């Protein structure tokens, strides 16, 4: 069995999309349209935004919850993905979606 480690030289980026649960269908559709196949999905994550983002804590006061998708994509795919996320945000700003990008150091 092969057991080699790929040293990535900025070839891949990790994009974390945090979004209101209500956006789940749209996010999945977006990924399908962009042809992004792989992702890891976290359900029921809590959080609050720095710039006016409404808290999502699942409490009585802030009952809503977020979900989060981390997808590892090629460098070239990142702008299109971010643009789509922006579109989604524009569609309904109050529901809320954010995306963050960082580098992939290594994969197995």
Partner 1 sequence: MSIYKSAIQKPVTTALIFVAVIVIGIYSFLKLPIDQFPEMDLPYITVMTTYPGASASEMETNVTKIMENALTSVDHLKHITSQSKDNISVVELELEWGSNMDEAVNDVRSFVDMAANNLPDNCAKPVIFKFSTSSMPICQYSITADETYAGLDKILNDEVVPQLNHIDGIGNISLSGAPDRYVYVNIDQQKLDAYGITLEQVGQVVSANNLNLSSGTIKMPQEQYQMQVRSEYIESSEIENLMVAMTPQGQQVFIRDIATVKDTIKDLSLDEKTNGREAVRLIISKQTGANTVQVCRDVRAELAKIQKQLPTDVKIEKIYDSSENIQNSINSLEESVLYALLFVVLVVLFFLGKWRATIIIGITIPIALIVAFIYLGLADSSLNIISLCSLTIAIGMVVDDAIVVLENITRHVERGEDPHEASIYATNEVWVSVIATTLVLVVVFVPLTMLNGMAGIMFHELGWIVTVVCCTSTLVAISLTPMLCSKLLKAKKVHVDENGNLVDDEAGKKGWYDRTVVHMLDVIDEYYAKSLGWCLRHKALTFLILIAFFAASLIPVFAGKIGTDFMQEQDNGRLTVTVKLQRGTRIEETLKTARKLEARFVELVPEIQLINTSAGSNDDASIASLFSSTMNNKIQMTIRLPKKWERDRDIWTLAEILRQEMASYPEINEYQCAVSSGGPGGDITVDLEIYGYDFDKTSQMAEQCRQLISQLPGARDVNISREDDRPDIKITVDKEKASRLGLSSATISTYLRNRVAGMACGYLKDDGSEYDIVVRLMEEDRNSISDILNLSIPTATGKTVKLSEVAAVGEYWAPPTIERKARQRIVTVKATPYNTTLGELAKAIETEVIPQLDIPVGYSTHIGGDVETQQDTFSDMILLGLMIIMLVYIVMASQFESLRMPGIIMFTIPFALSGVIIALWLTGRSLDMIGALGLVLLVGIVVKNGIVLVDYINLMRERGYELNQAIQMSGRSRIRPVLMTAFTTILGMIPMAVSSGEGAEMWQPLGIVVIGGLTVSTFLTLYVVPVLYGVMSRHGDRDKQEALRKKFIFMNLKVKKGDEK
Contact residues for partner 1, defined by CB under 8 A: 1, 25-26, 29-30, 33, 82-84, 86-88, 90-92
Q: How far is the CB of 92 from partner 1 (least distance, A)?
A: 8
From residue 26, give the alpha-carbon distance in Å to each of 42, 65, 69, 85, 87: 16, 16, 12, 10, 11
**Other CB atoms closer than 10 Å to residue 42's CB: what's the count?**
12
Q: How far is the CB of 25 from partner 1 (least distance, A)?
A: 7
Taking a C-beta distance cutoff of 8 angstroms, is the pair 82, 16 a contact? Answer: no
Q: How far is the CB of 32 from partner 1 (least distance, A)?
A: 9
- Candidates 60, 57, 59, 32; CA nearest to 45 is 57
Judged by beta carbon, residue 43 or residue 105, the one nearer partner 1 is 43
Distance between CA atoms of 66 and 48, rounded to whole angstroms? 9
Judged by beta carbon, residue 62 or residue 102, the one nearer partner 1 is 102
Q: How far is the CB of 1 from partner 1 (least distance, A)?
A: 7
Judged by beta carbon, residue 49 or residue 59, the one nearer partner 1 is 49
């Amino acid at each position: 069995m092969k057991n080699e480690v790929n040293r990535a030289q900025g070839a891949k980026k990790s994009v974390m999309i945090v979004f209101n649960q209500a956006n789940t269908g749209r996010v999945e559709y977006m990924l399908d349209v962009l042809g992004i196949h792989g992702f890891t999905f976290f359900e029921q994550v809590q959080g609050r935004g720095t710039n006016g983002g409404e808290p999502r804590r699942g409490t009585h006061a802030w009952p809503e919850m977020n979900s989060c998708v981390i997808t590892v994509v090629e460098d070239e795919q990142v702008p299109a993905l971010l643009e789509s996320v922006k579109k989604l945000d524009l569609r309904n700003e109050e529901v809320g979606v954010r995306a963050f990008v960082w580098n992939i150091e290594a994969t197995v």
